[in-house]
């Protein structure tokens, strides 16, 4: 059974006719051509497909589009302000926090949600926030460093 | 050259693809969507070992939305495999399945869901055969043959090499230790599931985009199994979302997607599920090991004899090479004057094992480094001091005829000992200090070790410990997978009047940064910034062949080819600029995007102008660079596995606590010093080290690829435990530079070697903390509690393998030991002029 849905993604409204059981991950990638969100396990285990729904990290492989109608979805394509990168993106690029880059979109969005709630997290708080996002390349070290650097820069920009 | 001579090399620059990766622009294989594209799924075997009686696809074909269904009958009856000696795989099994997950049929349909449904409508009749699920099973049942080839029933490979008289060397030793170890297999677990898109267009040409580390080998295999000229096939490696060796074999799904595209006239995408990735595997071999080593009182090794049994799984894959690698690299670190190695790879009905980061060497490294720790304890020596004394001399050969060039291992040991506070902590922590230097078990030792434990302060169940281990790894395999005299790596550098420089190279960026290294080295030679250089990688129709991203070969081999190509371009431009400026070309330098004479820099011309002058003098500016390693294979059968232009070295100290009540291990800090030759980019190098440490921690403490009744016990990312941010400790990386004459500006590998010492360093630290020996990985809490229970019952506190297979190795090939002989000429290799 197909349903017509309207999703607000990165501040744009997208309409699509999709099978009712198709996941948000599949609809974003296949119907909305937002391929920055990645498949990792399709079982909610690895964090790779994380997007933000009303600012909160959500595993898009476990979410149904119908549940997210009328809510604000942010994908990696919407993290930058136009051509201006989010401080997290800047820090991840500068510090080598993305190696293969496959887990990077999910980690960036999870970290963005953390920094909006806790602008100056401790390293342990960063670790806890990212504990649901697996990365097999980096050993997490440069990721944690980059989140800390971004938090510092964002704090400086505020004061 | 010193660091100050470089403009780009040594700088902590972002990767050239970093920006695309942080905004989600990078297009991995599964991100490709082509017009009219169909989606494919494989039907995989539910039996571990069975004959195929029949496959009926009628119901699947009748399903609306299905475009094509294929079985083995629709493909040429040609087997394939990565190694020429092990052509034992079928894209779709014809007569027999050898593991759960073996591919039987494939469907192309309008969408993935329809393809999946159609696969379920394919009726297969099996005749089950006994499934052999372990080395012991496979050797105990020679009447059940998994394959009809190899070195005996269910024996894929049986090797025996002897360098000098080991028995005599052991007789003369002050201490001889025999130990038995087991290293459970584990898998790569890349975040990206394998995916491919095939398009066989109406002109008869085939293009395959695939998440592969080895587009060149995939190219060769496609030509063979599809009976199509290689010249009509183009393989493009998309950016790989994590490899670690798991995407270095040609795979069934790649071949099948091509055939389905041919039949449907549509592009066909296939993307594996996470469960399929677990079965596709080609990861770390489970290896059972017996090691007997003689020591003098001072800790010198008199000789070493190693036996390894590899559980290979259902297919050959890289297994012959893996078998050799369990034996040939150990002698590269420490002085081992005589050496004997016997190894066997056994077929079982499990997913095939292959190369995972460190390929075949973490297992024997675990055995050797744990045994050294036990020997140090028995001899009353500090484990760091013992190792420091016996480090191999530079520019010498090992017993098994491998050439060591530079070796920074001594410095690495000194640096981690210093940085970690080794000496103070070694005394302060651990039961060993409290008990004196009593040995605490080992496979062949009697005695209970210690029965009375002095509780250290404070009386917490968490006991601290600190351990050390070292390692070495190849910087690229010295021989190709198929025997040939052609380059292992090729680069074309071209420039035109725009001032832009393009690099074409077959290398595949799997996240390690090979595109970036190519840009850095080219920019360094031409006096440009990396941003001025565009890298076009991994396209078999456009880029010169590179053998692939494996064996830590890319930075060295592609790097040397890039330096040669860029140097030729620079020479041509210098000639034209020299004529214009009326100076000697030898007086010119390229820097800051200009070319000129340093003493007369005002007259220097811009790089773009210099290229114009060059184009006017020479015509089109495009220059090749080629690299093949020095020919150093030992002059004996099997001597081709192990040689490398140079070896990297690592020393690692791990500090941890072990909870006596729960058996859980908490890692506090890891210090690692790595001899990288030359750091081309410290950010990328540290990233490789940190990732290696992390992966080693997972292998040491939690990751295992284990089976029950033919099925993977944990084929998901939740059940297959791997470290998260919370289990990964603080990692302190020290890079040691030895400026190796074989490497690009002196660089050696860094992507694999640092994984190796972590695992034994953890095992040795656990022993230091509690006085127990866990002689198998992963070291899970149940094993720690079992060892503590053994001690309470007055038995040796050791958990590890208790028996070895009944197996006859072949008579060894006896070769004179080359230990200590001076290295052959350095820096001599093909394609230099």
Spatial contact of B774 and B709, defined as CB atoms under 8 Å apart: no
The strand pairing partners of B378, in sequence order, are none
pLDDT reading at B447 higher than 60:
no
Q: Do domains B36-129+188-280 and B486-627 have the same CATH topology?
A: no
pLDDT band at B459 (very low <50, low <70, confident <90, very high): confident
Mutate to test the interface with A, among B13, B14, B21 (most CBs of A within 10 A): B21
Q: How confident is the model at residue A1 (pLDDT cuts 50, 70, 90)?
A: confident
Is A50's Cβ below 8 Å from some Cβ in B? Answer: no
Local confidence band at B157 (pLDDT 50, 70, 90 cut-offs): very high
**How far apart are alpha carbons B705 and B463 in whole angstroms?**
29
- Mean pLDDT score across all residues of chain B: 95
| Residue pair B269/B38 in contact by the 8 Å Cβ criterion | yes
| Digit-coded pLDDT (tens) for B47-73 | 999 999 999 999 999 999 999 999 999
Residue A8 has pLDDT above 80, yes or no: yes
Residues of A in contact with B28 (CB under 8 A): 38, 102
Where residue B454 falls among pLDDT bands split at 50, 70, 90? low
CA B815, B396, B628, B341 torsion-angle sign: positive
pLDDT of residue B446: 37
Q: B242–A30: do the CB atoms touch at under 8 Å?
A: no
- Cβ <8 Å between B17 and A95: no
In sequence order, what are the beta bridge partners of B91? Answer: none
- Residue tagged 């920009």 (tokens): A157
pLDDT value at B436 more than 70: no
Q: Which of B21, B30, B725 lies at the smallest CB-CB distance from A101?
A: B21
Residue B449 has pLDDT above 70, yes or no: no
A121 in contact with B at a CB cutoff of 8 Å?
Answer: no
Q: For residue B507, with 0-12 CB atoms within 10 Å meaning exposed, 13-18 middle and 19 or more buried, which class applies? A: buried
**B439 pLDDT tier (thresholds 50, 70, 90):** very low
Interface check for A76 against chain B (CB to CB < 8 A): the answer is yes
Q: In which band, very low, low, confident or very high, does the pLDDT at A87 lie, cut at 50, 70 and 90?
A: very high
Q: For A77-89, what is the mean pLDDT?
A: 97
Instruction: Tell me the C-alpha distance between B343 and B597, whole Å.
Output: 59
DSSP secondary structure of B432-469: HHHH-S-----TT--S-S-S--PPPSS--SEEEEEEEE
**pLDDT confidence tier of residue A50, bands split at 50, 70 and 90:** very high
Q: Do B24 and A105 touch (CB under 8 A)?
A: yes
Tokens describing residue B486: 């052609």
CATH number of B36-129+188-280: 3.90.1170.50
User: Can you point out the beta strands (E) in B281-325?
Assistant: 287-295, 301-313
Per-residue confidence (pLDDT) for residue B321, from 0 to 100: 97
Q: Where are the domains of chain B?
A: 36-129+188-280, 287-476+636-815, 486-627
Are B687 and A142 a contacting pair at CB < 8 A? yes
Average pLDDT, stretch B398-406? 98
Contact predicate B244/B263, CB 8 Å: no
Instruction: Compute the average pLDDT of residues B633-647.
Output: 95
Q: Within an 8 Å CB–CB cutoff, is residue A77 touching chain B? A: yes
pLDDT value at residue B457: 57
pLDDT band for A77, please (50, 70, 90 cuts). very high
Fold of A2-78: Ubiquitin-like (UB roll) (3.10.20)
pLDDT of residue B2: 66
Q: Where are the beta strands (DSSP E) in B515-602?
A: 533-537, 589-591, 594-596
User: Which of the four pLDDT bands, split at 50, 70 and 90, describes residue B695?
Assistant: very high
Cβ of B190 within 8 Å of Cβ of A98? The answer is no
What topology is assigned to B486-627 in CATH?
Aldehyde Oxidoreductase; domain 4 (3.30.365)
Interface check B512 vs A, CB under 8 A? yes
- Sheet holding B50-56: strands in order across? B96-97, B50-56, B123-128
Give the separation between CA A49 and CA A37, rounded to whole angstroms: 5
How many other CB atoms are found less than 10 A from the CB of residue B826?
Answer: 16
Q: What is the pLDDT of residue B445?
A: 39
Residue B209 sits at the chain A interface (C-beta within 8 Å): no
Distance CA B600, CA B433 (A): 67
- CB-based contact B23 A36, cutoff 8 Å: yes
Q: How confident is the model at residue B833 (pLDDT cuts 50, 70, 90)?
A: confident
pLDDT tens-digit readout, B77-101: 999 999 999 999 999 999 999 999 9
3-state secondary structure of B27: coil
Q: Is A139 on the interface with B (CB under 8 A)?
A: yes
Least confident of A13-22, B443-452, B711-720, B761-770: B443-452
What residues of A are in contact with residue B193 (Cβ under 8 Å)? 39-40
> Which class is domain B287-476+636-815?
alpha beta
- Dig out the tokens for B100 from the structure: 């759960």
Domain coordinates in residue numbering, chain A: 2-78, 87-158
In CATH, what number does A87-158 get? 1.10.150.120
Residue B717 contacts A, CB cutoff 8 Å: yes
Across the range B735-758, mean pLDDT stands at 98
Contact B295, B175 (CB under 8 A): yes
- How much is the pLDDT for B5? 87
């Amino acid at each position: 059974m197909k349903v017509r849905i309207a999703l607000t993604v990165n501040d744009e409204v997208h309409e699509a006719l999709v099978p009712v059981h198709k996941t948000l991950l599949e609809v974003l990638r296949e119907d909305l051509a937002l391929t920055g969100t990645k498949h990792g396990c399709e079982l909610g285990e690895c964090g790779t497909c994380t997007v933000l729904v009303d600012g909160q990290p959500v595993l898009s492989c476990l979410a149904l589009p119908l549940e997210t109608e009328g809510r604000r979805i942010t994908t990696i394509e919407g993290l930058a302000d136009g051509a201006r990168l989010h401080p997290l993106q800047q820090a991840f690029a500068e510090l080598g926090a993305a190696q293969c880059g496959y887990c990077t979109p999910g980690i960036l969005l999870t970290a963005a949600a953390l920094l909006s709630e806790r602008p100056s997290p401790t390293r342990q708080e960063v670790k806890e926030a990212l504990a649901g996002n697996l990365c097999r390349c980096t050993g997490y070290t440069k990721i944690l460093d980059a989140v800390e650097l971004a938090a510092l820069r964002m704090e400086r920009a505020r004061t | 050259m010193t660091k100050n001579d470089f403009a780009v090399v040594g700088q902590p620059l972002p990767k050239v693809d970093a920006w695309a990766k942080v905004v989600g622009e990078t297009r991995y294989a599964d991100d490709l969507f082509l017009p009219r594209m169909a989606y494919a799924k494989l039907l995989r075997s539910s039996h571990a070992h069975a004959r195929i009686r029949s496959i009926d696809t009628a119901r699947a074909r009748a399903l609306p939305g299905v475009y094509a269904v294929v079985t083995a009958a629709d493909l040429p009856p040609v087997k394939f495999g990565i190694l020429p000696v092990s052509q034992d795989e079928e894209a779709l099994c014809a007569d027999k399945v050898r593991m759960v997950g073996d591919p039987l049929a494939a469907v192309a349909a309008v969408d993935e869901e329809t393809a999946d449904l159609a696969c379920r409508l394919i009726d297969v009749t099996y005749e089950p055969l006994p499934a052999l699920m372990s080395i012991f099973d496979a050797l105990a049942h020679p009447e059940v043959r998994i394959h009809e080839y190899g070195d005996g029933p269910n024996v894929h490979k049986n090797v025996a090499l002897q360098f000098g008289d080991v028995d005599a060397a052991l007789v003369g030793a002050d201490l001889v230790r025999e130990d038995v170890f087991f290293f459970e297999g584990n898998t790569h677990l890349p975040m990206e599931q394998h995916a491919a898109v095939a398009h066989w267009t109406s002109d008869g040409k085939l293009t395959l985009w695939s998440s592969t580390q080895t587009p060149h080998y995939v190219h060769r295999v496609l030509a063979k199994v599809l009976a199509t000229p290689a010249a009509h096939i183009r393989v493009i490696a998309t950016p790989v979302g994590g490899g670690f060796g798991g995407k270095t074999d040609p795979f069934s799904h790649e071949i099948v997607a091509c055939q389905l595209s041919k039949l449907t006239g549509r592009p066909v995408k296939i993307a594996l599920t996470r469960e399929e990735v677990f079965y596709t595997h080609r990861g770390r071999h489970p290896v059972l090991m017996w090691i007997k080593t003689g020591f003098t009182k001072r800790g010198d090794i008199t000789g070493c004899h190693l036996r390894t049994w590899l559980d290979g799984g259902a297919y050959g894959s890289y297994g012959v090479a893996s078998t050799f690698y369990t034996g040939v690299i150990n002698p590269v670190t420490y002085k081992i004057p005589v050496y004997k190695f016997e190894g066997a790879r056994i077929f079982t009905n499990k997913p095939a094992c292959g190369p995972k980061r460190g390929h075949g060497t973490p297992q024997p490294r675990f055995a050797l480094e744990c045994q050294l720790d036990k020997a140090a304890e028995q001899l009353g020596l500090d484990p760091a001091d013992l190792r420091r004394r016996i480090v191999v001399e530079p520019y010498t050969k090992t017993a098994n005829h491998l050439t060591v060039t530079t070796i920074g291992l001594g410095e690495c040991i000194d640096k981690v000992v210093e940085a970690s506070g080794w000496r103070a902590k070694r005394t302060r922590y651990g039961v060993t200090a409290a008990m004196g230097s009593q040995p605490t078990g080992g496979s062949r030792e009697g005695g209970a070790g210690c029965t009375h434990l002095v509780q250290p302060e404070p009386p917490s169940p968490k006991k601290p410990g600190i351990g050390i281990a070292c390692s070495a790894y190849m910087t690229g395999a010295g021989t190709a997978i198929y025997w040939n005299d052609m380059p292992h790596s090729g680069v074309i550098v071209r420039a035109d009047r725009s001032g832009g420089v393009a690099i074409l190279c077959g290398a595949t960026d799997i996240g390690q940064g090979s595109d970036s290294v190519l840009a850095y080295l080219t920019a360094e030679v031409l006096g440009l910034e990396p941003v001025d250089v565009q890298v076009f990688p991994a396209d078999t129709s456009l880029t010169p062949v590179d053998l692939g991203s494996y064996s830590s070969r890319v930075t060295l081999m592609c790097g040397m080819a890039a330096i040669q190509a860029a140097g030729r371009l620079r020479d041509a431009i210098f000639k034209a600029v020299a004529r214009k400026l009326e100076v000697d070309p030898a007086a010119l330098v390229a820097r800051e995007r200009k070319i000129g004479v340093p003493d007369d820099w005002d007259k220097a011309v811009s790089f773009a102008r210099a290229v114009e002058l060059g184009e006017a003098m020479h015509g089109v500016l495009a220059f090749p660079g080629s690299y093949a390693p020095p020919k150093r294979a030992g002059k004996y059968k099997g001597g081709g596995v192990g040689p490398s232009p140079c070896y990297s070295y690592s020393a690692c100290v791990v500090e941890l606590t072990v909870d006596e009540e729960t058996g859980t291990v908490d890692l506090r800090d890891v210090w690692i010093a790595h001899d990288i030759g030359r750091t081309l980019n410290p950010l990328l190098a540290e990233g490789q080290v940190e990732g290696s440490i992390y992966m080693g921690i997972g292998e040491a403490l939690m990751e295992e690829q284990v089976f029950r009744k033919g099925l993977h016990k944990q084929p998901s990312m939740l059940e297959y435990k791997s470290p998260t941010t919370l289990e990964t400790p603080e990692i302190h990386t020290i890079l040691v530079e030895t400026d190796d004459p074989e490497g690009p500006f002196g660089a050696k590998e860094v992507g694999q070697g640092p994984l190796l010492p972590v695992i034994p360093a953890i095992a040795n630290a656990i022993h230091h903390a509690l006085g127990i020996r866990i002689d198998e990985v992963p070291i899970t809490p149940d094993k720690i509690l079992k060892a503590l229970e053994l001690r309470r019952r007055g038995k040796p506190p050791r958990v590890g393998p208790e028996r070895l297979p009944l197996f006859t190795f072949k008579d060894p090939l006896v070769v004179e030991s080359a230990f200590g002989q001076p290295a052959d000429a350095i820096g001599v290799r093909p394609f230099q002029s």
